[in-house]
């Protein structure tokens, strides 16, 4: 049932007790105040914070972003407004490849500086964990540069970063019509090096007629398995290429986009426990017509996450709260499903069991929003209601102050 999403029960008059970077207990206020950890004579509450009727949620998790990149794609935006399609721009050598050129030219410092701006805005709006993919370098040196920058973001900003190696994002110019040779480079040189340096927490690929075939993705996934790295997949975004089933076959943490996934793919995801990550920003920006199969995903109880897909080409957005609204309005999610999509299900998509829900032993990552209900969080567009953000037990907000 759409409105019974495990992990999204709302507690009225609730309270939360934390100790260091962990949650001790959560429940109704009188129960929390009488908790044994407080009743013990040697323990007192160091600090009590009145959330004044706000909505306290687990820290939000953006489980699919490409937020480290050089340049922008405003010229292609204009081309698209003139009627040239995303695929056509890609076939002409633009699209992902134009961001690859700009990213290769950028120093680590430049990439870190532009990415930090995006991450700061996300943090101020309640995000405490996010995933960042490579995929705009496409040489070993440039892919590692992107992953190092992504890793370094958590040193300066109050956020946990999960990194994903996306070497199989596009065929670089220098490998034109030599796709198999490029996949060999990804498998034989890039993946082992990235794994050895522990630069990536998972491996992704773009399975599509403008990118890589199922057979090529399979090679990447087999190598990832050999290196004990979990996988995820950009699947069935523009055509049904059997991407969801392929992701499921490899026990992927997530299959992402899924606009063209059919029931066979949905059933495969259900069997493998793979999370369906829905990306309404890209759907909107590319003016897609076909929605992901939300009713089927619901029927087969596939957990659905929502993410920004923050990138310069198909989803130039860093507001996860806007994705809540778009997920409801465009994909038909209930507000409860949408909020589960950026908390409990987003954590599952990253393979993280210590966050995404407010429960004893979980990380003390949470945010208080100036709204009354889950619905109020999803319904307005463009407001920023985060009043307080706590990451690993430390107050990192109020928002809009320098982080
Ligand atoms: O998730 N689909 C592939 N990758 C990105 C787009 C990247 C780009 O256009 O720069 C996506 O939509
Ligand atoms: Fe993406």
Whole-angstrom distance, CA of residue 318 vs CA of residue 236: 23
Give yes or no for a contact between 362 and 388, defined as CB atoms under 8 angstroms apart: no
Predicted TM-score (pTM) above 0.85 = yes
Ligand 1-lining residues (CB < 6 angstroms): 66, 95-96, 99, 206, 234, 237, 282, 309, 311-315
User: What pLDDT is stored for residue 401 in this prediction?
Assistant: 40
Closest atom of ligand 1 to 69 CA is 10
Which stretches in the chain have pLDDT values below 50?
A: 1-2, 400-403
Instruction: Check residue 363 and give left, alpha or beta (phi > 0: left; psi -120 to 50: alpha).
Output: beta
- Closest to 156 in 3D by CA, of 194, 200, 115: 115
Q: What is the DSSP letter of 164?
A: E
For 313-347, the pLDDT digits (tens) are 999 999 999 999 999 999 999 999 999 999 999 99
Residue at token pair 């908390």: 343
Token pair in block for residue 337: 């499903």
Residues around the ion ligand 2 (C-beta < 5 A): 309
Mutate to test the pocket of ligand 1, among 314, 315, 317, 323 (most ligand atoms within 8 A of CB): 314
Beta strand spans in 108-174 (E): 127-133, 160-168
Q: Which structure tokens are listed for 156?
A: 């300066």
Q: Tell me what pLDDT residue 43 has.
A: 65
The CA 65 to ligand 2 mean position distance, Å, reads: 6
Residue among 311, 312, 317 to mutate when testing ligand 1 (max atoms within 8 A of CB)? 311
Atom index in ligand 1 nearest the CA of residue 257 equals 1
Q: Are 229 and 195 in contact (CB under 8 A)?
A: yes
Identify the three-state secondary structure at position 216: helix
Probe ligand 1: pick from 92, 287, 309, max atoms within 8 Å of CB? 309
């Amino acid at each position: 049932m759409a409105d019974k999403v495990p992990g999204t029960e709302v507690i009225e008059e609730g309270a939360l007790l934390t100790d260091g970077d962990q949650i001790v207990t959560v429940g109704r206020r009188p129960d929390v105040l009488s908790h044994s950890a407080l009743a013990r004579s040697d323990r007192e509450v160091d600090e009590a914070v009145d959330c004044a009727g706000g909505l306290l949620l687990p820290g939000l998790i953006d489980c699919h972003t490409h937020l480290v990149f050089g340049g922008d794609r405003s010229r292609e935006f204009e081309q698209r407004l003139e009627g040239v399609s995303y695929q056509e721009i890609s076939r002409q050598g633009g699209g992902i490849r134009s961001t690859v050129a700009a990213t290769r030219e950028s120093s680590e410092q430049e990439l870190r500086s532009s990415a930090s701006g995006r991450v700061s805005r996300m943090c101020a709006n309640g995000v405490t964990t996010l995933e960042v993919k490579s995929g705009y370098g496409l040489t070993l040196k440039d892919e590692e540069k992107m992953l190092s920058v992504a890793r370094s973001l958590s040193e300066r900003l109050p956020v946990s970063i999960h990194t994903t190696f996306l070497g199989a994002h596009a065929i670089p110019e220098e490998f034109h019509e030599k796709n198999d040779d490029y996949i060999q480079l990804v498998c034989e040189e890039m993946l082992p090096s990235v794994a050895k340096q522990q630069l990536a927490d998972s491996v992704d690929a773009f399975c599509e007629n403008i990118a890589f075939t199922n057979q090529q993705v399979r090679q990447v996934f087999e190598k990832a398995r050999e290196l004990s790295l979990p996988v995820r997949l950009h699947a069935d975004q523009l055509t049904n290429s059997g991407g969801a089933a392929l992701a499921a076959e490899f026990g992927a943490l997530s299959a992402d986009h899924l606009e063209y996934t059919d029931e066979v793919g949905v059933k495969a995801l259900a069997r493998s426990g793979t999370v369906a990550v829905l990306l309404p920003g890209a759907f909107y920006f590319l003016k897609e017509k076909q929605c992901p199969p939300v009713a089927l995903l619901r029927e087969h109880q596939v957990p659905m996450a929502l993410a920004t897909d923050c990138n310069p080409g198909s989803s130039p957005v860093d507001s996860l709260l806007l994705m809540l609204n778009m997920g409801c309005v465009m994909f038909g999610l209930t507000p409860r499903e949408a909020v589960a999509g950026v908390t409990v299900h987003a954590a599952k998509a990253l393979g993280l069991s210590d966050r995404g829900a407010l429960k004893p032993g979980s990380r003390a990552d949470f945010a208080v929003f100036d709204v009354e209900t889950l619905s109020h969080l999803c319904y307005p567009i463009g407001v920023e209601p985060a009043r307080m953000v706590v990451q690993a037990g430390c107050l990192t907000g109020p928002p809009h102050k320098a982080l």
